[in-house]
Amino acid sequence: MCKKYDTVIGLEIHAELSTKTKAFCTCDASFGGDPNTHICPVCTGQPGALPVINHAAVEYAMRAGLALNCDINRYTRFDRKNYFYPDLPKAYQISQLDLPLCVNGKVELSTGTVVRIHQIHLEEDAGKMVHDDYHGQSYADYNRCSVPLIEIVTEPDINSPEEAAEFVSKIALYLKYLNVCDAKMQEGSIRADVNISLKPAGSDILGDRAEIKNLNSFRSIQRAIESEIARQTEILDQGGKVVQETRRFDDATGTTSSLRSKENANDYRYFPEPDILAITFTEEDIEKAKSEIPLLPHERVEIYTKEYGLTDEDARVLTSEKYLSDFFDETVAIYPMYKNVSNMFQTEIMRRVKETDSEEIAISAKNFAKVCEMADKNTVNRNDAKTIIRIMFEEGGEPEEIAKTNGFIVVEDTEAIANVVDALFAERPDLIEDYKNGKTNVFGFFMGQANRALKGKATPMSVKAYLEKKFNEI
Amino acid sequence: MATISTLRKELDSKSISSVELTKEYLKKINEHPELGAFNTVCEEEALSLAKLADKKIANGESSPLLGIPLAIKDNICTKGITTTCSSKMLENYIPPYNATVMDKLNAQGAVVLGKTSMDEFAMGGSSQTSALAKPKNPFNLECVPGGSSGGSAAAVSGGLCAAALGSDTGGSIRQPAAFCGIVGMKPTYGTVSRFGLVAFGSSLDQIGPMANSAEDCGIILNAIAGQDIHDRTTRSHNINFNELIGKPISGMKIGIPKEFFGDGIDDEVKTAVINAAKFYEENGAELIEVSMPTLKYAVSAYYLLACAEASSNLSRYDGVKYGLRTESPESYDDLIKKSRSEGFGTEVKRRILLGTYALSSGYYDAYYKKALAVRQQCRLEHDEIFKKCDVMLTPTTPTVAYKCRDNIDDPVKMYLADICTVTANIAGIPAISVPCGIDKDGMPIGFSLSAKRFDDAKLPQFADFFEKEHMHPVANI
């Protein structure tokens, strides 16, 4: 079936930066804390208090911009965005309007679509309202107030709900790789506003758009867009006109509803923030920010496939999270058997960490490298190696110690092999006779018995070699 | 009137103690409630600070302000002491922190007598927009002391304190200083921290001294100036505000901008100011005519910029966190509407509306942006002027202090009276007002000296030179 409309989507992604302190004061910017414990005269908007910009926030935003292929404005300025809301103590948000930090970026999606980034600007977060319906009271918690945010604004280059979800998850992943945002959607550290319009297939003229505010999961971004496309399609099919307005998405019903129309839109009365001086960046500032950008996922995939000889699939799995990729890199730096480490890592490490929410791997890369090496060199057999990893996860400890205590160390004791096999031959002359009569399957019996008796002292390979020698001599 | 420098000698020679001095001022404050100079008098705190100062003096310590009783304008945050901005909105507001200037005064061991009344949120030139104490002019109680730092001016002029801090957004230190026959100085924007000064027009506001002599102004500025990590608009500088006092002025150039002596300037004021200029000329300075064509746009530009910033700065008073909150609001919108309607006076509301309008979409380019262009032009003209001269000399005010009832219903007339002072704020340059006689009714007249940015020390130098030959008028109080 031919598509009747093209979907045009633009995104505004708000990402909280993971700086230690807030954007304009020295309060703790970490998530949580009892209400109103991370506050001071500045972030609660006391009369006379003044903002002082946190340089780390500027550097983080710059790093994000550079990684997303943006140009850095050499001259950047802050503006006040004025509106009343009880979670906004100054009644204005310090933001950036026409001279943002970063402009003109781009990100390529797996579909081949290139999404242009219009700008990335730095601003501050608001606090949080807590409503007590029972007593009809509302409370304001200012802990999040003035935590630094970047807002990433795209051009309307996204064509489907899937592309939108991919774009947001890609941005989230990049920000994590850059160490500038922990990208925990459940803690609200990444939120998105979506602008959607439909136009007749192939047309160049954009339709009227609706904006859906404050989506806070990859899934709700996709669902909200799907539902909005359906709604706008129905309106257009019936010859109607889409109203330009702000809408909200209800996760429970999976539908959007009107929040406010364009006529009731706020006039934010932006003007240059007089309390913060404009910043002029030097080439050195920008070079320094560039030097602080770690290898990004696509660069690591390139290395894993081209230099390490891993498959594309393996490379993608390993780079799906920064902490996984970092751990893998640390391991292969010690023990560069890429393919073997990758296999062991995916089956034994990733499986375990995926079961928890934590992004911490309970064992060290050094110990993991050691176990991989022990397995590859037959110091322990592969199954025992896996057991060692399990024990390290559950109880800790050093791999060699664990192997010794549990008798996993393989010792190639040729004398012991001879003793055991010779004894078995002496015990079962009947089976030797059977073998002579052509019943060669008795070999398996001897192999099993010998291995059991020689556990930890010889590898099955050496046992097999000795047995073969013995039978040949018969 | 006793200057800080004389009091310093008396305190250090122990001919008077800080406690005795403080008690004297407190007594005088209590004897003159009709001056309406104070919103809050901190008797206990002042006496304990004075005791502490006496102990230090007894130990042989000395610093320029140790044990000197001062008054503080009520828009400068004092930890634990109400800071009202003379508004019902903040009538009970007790700041949880000190302004940087207060920390600096404390470090010097100065004694804070109390908080002085002012125009509400520093908006006005009469101090009669105060919702709390309404200060009067010590030279004539029926007249205004000027504003917005009218309480500080009345307190210094009336002898209720040794000196005071004021704040100046468009003339709020210099104009009341002129009206009350004292010296007031607004330093270069960025020399004194604004941290803890309740914001009116952030790009224009500056704290400064109001005192009985130019030297006293320099003493206070030396104590409170300096770069502050809490205010990134402060600059690193090493100005010693009094270092040029006593240095000869002969051969130095004084610019006389003709636009400041046109229609609208009272004849008696004009004469007194021209005489001051002549005095310098007679003593070897050279007078040169300079020009500031943007002056005719200055008041409009000033009110647009100041009100635009004020409309944003005053938005935080919404009844949610502190300050006046209306009784039983029906909703959040109702809470802000009613709290702001009840908390702010007419002049404050007028300026918030004006500023909100100027920043509104569709009007921004026509008003705010144009005002910024005027500001830029005004700065360039000042740069040109100060290439030709060391200081510029103008009247501080078009008239002397007027009657309390006058002008109050004509805001435009009030705004136009700021014509002589606003350019210093727009250009960010330092300016000082010095008394230069009285009119036929005995009301003080002041003239102003200004200099280029960070050339502040030239102002006490010139002012002191004039003072040495001209006694300040003294209020009969």
CA distance, residue A75 to nearest chain B CA (Å)? 17
CB nearest to A50's CB, from B95, B96, B194: B194
SS3 at position A410: coil
Residues 6+ away with beta carbon under 8 Å from A312: A301, A305
pLDDT grade for A259, boundaries at 50, 70 and 90? confident
Confidence of residue A441 (pLDDT cuts 50, 70, 90): confident
Q: Which H or E run contains B41?
A: strand B38-41
* Nearest CA-CA partner of A173 in A26, A324, A322: A322
Cross-chain residue pair A49–B196, CB shorter than 8 Å:
yes
Residue A103 and residue A130 in one domain:
yes
Sheet holding A92-95, edge to edge: A92-95, A79-82, A271-272
Q: Considering only CB atoms, which chain B residues are within 8 Å of A271? A: 308-309, 312, 359, 364, 368
pTM of this prediction? 0.90
List of residues 6+ apart from B76 with CB closer than 8 A: A48, B83, B99, B101, B102, B115, B165, B167, B196, B197, B198, B207
Residue A421: inside a domain, yes or no?
A: yes
Structure confidence at residue A71 (pLDDT): 97
Three-state SS annotation for B412-454: HHHHHCCCCCHHHHHHCCCEEEEEEEECCCCCEEEEEEECCCC
Distance from CA of A275 to the nearest CA of B (A): 6
Across the interface, do A86 and B318 touch by the CB < 8 Å criterion? Answer: yes
Residues of A with CB under 8 A from a CB of B: 41, 44-50, 52-53, 80, 82, 84, 86, 89-92, 138, 140, 267, 269-271, 274-277
E strands, B293-389, are none
Q: In Å, how far are B12, B54, B56, B111, B296 from B59, measured between CA atoms? A: 11, 8, 5, 18, 57
Identify from B235, B313, B352 which residue to disrupt to test chain A contact, counting A C-beta atoms within 10 A and taking the largest count.
Answer: B313
Domain's final residue, options A285, A313, A334: A285
- Amino acid at the residue B328: S
Distance from CA of B341 to the nearest CA of A (A): 15
Query: Is B315–A52 a contact, with Cβ atoms under 8 angstroms apart?
Result: no
Q: Quick one: A28 and A105 in the same domain?
A: yes
Q: Tell me, yes or no, whether A385 and A244 share the same domain.
A: no
Does the distance separating the beta carbons of A48 and B77 come in below 8 Å? yes
A240 within a domain of the structure (yes/no)? yes
Residues A393, A421, single domain; the answer is no
A31 with A102, same domain: the answer is: yes
Once rounded to an integer, what is the mean pLDDT over residues A393-420? Answer: 85
- pLDDT band for A43, please (50, 70, 90 cuts): very high
- Backbone torsions φ then ψ of B148, nearest 5 degrees: -85, -15
Distance from CA of A139 to the nearest CA of B (A): 10
The structure tokens listed for A442 are: 């008795």
Inspect the interface and report whether the beta carbons of A50 and B308 lie closer than 8 Å.
Answer: no
Q: Do both A115 and A215 map to the same domain?
A: yes
Confidence at residue B391, expressed as pLDDT on a 0 to 100 scale: 98
Q: What is the DSSP letter of B148?
A: S
Instruction: Output the pLDDT for position A405.
Output: 86
The Cα–Cα gap between A29 and A178 comes to: 18
Structural domain of residue A421, as residue ranges? 414-473
Q: Return the active site residues of B.
A: 73, 148, 172
Judge whether A32 lies within some domain: yes
Considering chain A, what percentage of its residues have pLDDT values greater than 70? 98
- Decide if A50 and B232 are in contact by the 8 Å CB cutoff: yes
Phi, psi angle pair for B271, to nearest 5°: -60, -50
Tell me the CA distances in angstroms from B84 to A70, A348, A448, B197, B209, one per residue in order.
47, 66, 93, 12, 20
- Between chains, do A47 and B320 touch, taking CB under 8 Å as contact? no
Both A387 and A418 in a single domain?
no
Find the chain B residues whose C-beta atoms sit closer than 8 A to any C-beta of A: 75-77, 83, 85, 90, 93, 95-97, 99, 194-199, 202-203, 229-233, 308-309, 311-312, 315-316, 318, 320-322, 332, 336, 356, 359-361, 364, 368
CB spacing of B202 vs A274 below 8 angstroms: yes
Of A142, A140, A141, A99, the C-alpha closest to A121 is A99
- Chain B partners of A275 at a C-beta cutoff of 8 Å? 202, 231-233
Q: What is the pLDDT of residues A320-356, one digit of tens each?
A: 999 999 999 999 999 999 999 999 999 999 988 887 7
pLDDT digits (tens, 9 = 90+) for A211-244: 999 998 888 999 999 999 999 999 999 999 999 9
C-alpha Rg value of chain B to the nearest Å: 21
Half-sphere exposure of B77 (CA within 13 A, CB side): 23
Query: Both A203 and A351 in a single domain?
Result: no
Could you tell me what percent of chain A has a pLDDT over 90?
70
Final residue belonging to a domain, choices A405, A431, A446: A405
| Average pLDDT over all residues of chain A | 92
User: A121: which strand partners?
Assistant: A151
Measure in Å the smallest separation between the Cα of A246 and chain B Cα atoms.
19
Q: Is the pLDDT of residue A379 over 70?
A: yes
Dist CA B277 CA B267 (whole Å): 15
For residue B368 the two structure tokens come to 């705010």
Domain check: are A130 and A103 in the same one?
yes
Write down the pLDDT at residue A2.
58
Smallest Cβ distance to A48: which of B99, B311, B318? B99
Indicate if the pLDDT at residue A1 is higher than 50: no
What is the count of structural domains for chain A?
3
CATH topology of domain B1-477: Amidase signature (AS) enzymes (3.90.1300)
Is residue A194 included in any domain, yes or no? yes
Closest chain B residue to the Cα of A270, Cα to Cα: B359
The last residue of a domain, from among A232, A259, A285: A285
Rg (CA), chain A: 31
Q: What confidence score (pLDDT) does residue B31 get?
A: 97
Q: Are residues A375 and A437 in the same domain?
A: no
pLDDT category at A82 given cuts 50, 70, 90 is very high
Check A48 against B231: CB less than 8 A apart. Answer: no
- Contact status, residue B307 vs residue B202, Cβ threshold 8 Å: no
Mutation target to probe the B interface, by most B beta carbons within 10 A, among A90, A95, A141, A271 is: A271
What is the maximum alpha-carbon separation in chain B? 70
CB contact under 8 A, A92 and B315: yes
Q: How far is B245 from chain A (nearest CA, A)?
A: 33
Q: How far is CA B208 from CA A99, B36, B95, B477, in A?
A: 34, 21, 21, 25
Cβ contacts (< 8 Å) between B197 and chain A: which residues? 48
Q: Which two tokens stand for residue A150?
A: 């970047």
Which chain A residues contact residue B334 at CB under 8 A? Answer: none
Q: Same domain for A349 and A220?
A: no
* Contact criterion met (CB < 8 Å) for B332 and A50: no
**Beta strands A245-250; A148-154: pairing state:** unpaired
The residues near A11 (Cβ < 8 Å, ≥ 6 apart) are A152, A153, A154, A158, A164, A167, A168, A192, A193, A194, A195
Task: Tell me whether residue A401 is in a domain.
Answer: yes
The token pair that represents A3 in the structure block: 């598509």
Same domain, A184 and A308: no
* CATH at residue A421: 1.10.10
Strands A279-280 and A75-76 come out as antiparallel
**Between A454 and A132, the higher pLDDT residue:** A132
Contact B151, B134 (CB under 8 A): no
Has residue A290 been placed in a domain?
no
Per-residue pLDDT in tens (0 to 9) along chain B, 477 residues: 799 999 999 999 999 999 999 999 999 999 999 999 999 999 999 999 999 999 999 999 989 999 999 999 999 999 999 999 999 999 999 999 999 999 999 999 999 999 999 999 999 999 999 999 999 999 999 999 999 999 999 999 999 999 999 999 999 999 999 999 999 999 999 999 999 999 999 999 999 999 999 999 999 999 999 999 999 999 999 999 999 999 999 999 999 999 999 888 999 999 999 999 999 999 999 999 999 999 999 999 999 999 999 999 999 999 999 999 999 899 999 999 999 999 999 999 999 999 999 999 989 999 999 999 999 999 999 999 999 999 999 999 999 999 998 766 788 888 889 999 999 999 999 999 999 999 999 999 999 999 999 999 999 999 999 999 999 999 988
Q: Do B312 and A92 touch (CB under 8 A)?
A: yes
A159: in domain = yes
Q: Is residue A150, in this structure, part of any structural domain at all?
A: yes
Residues of B in contact with A92 (CB under 8 A): 312, 315
Span A83-87, average pLDDT: 94
Nearest to A47 among B90, B332, B364 (CB): B90
Instruction: From residue A267, give the alpha-carbon distance in Å to each of A123, B265, B279.
Output: 18, 41, 55
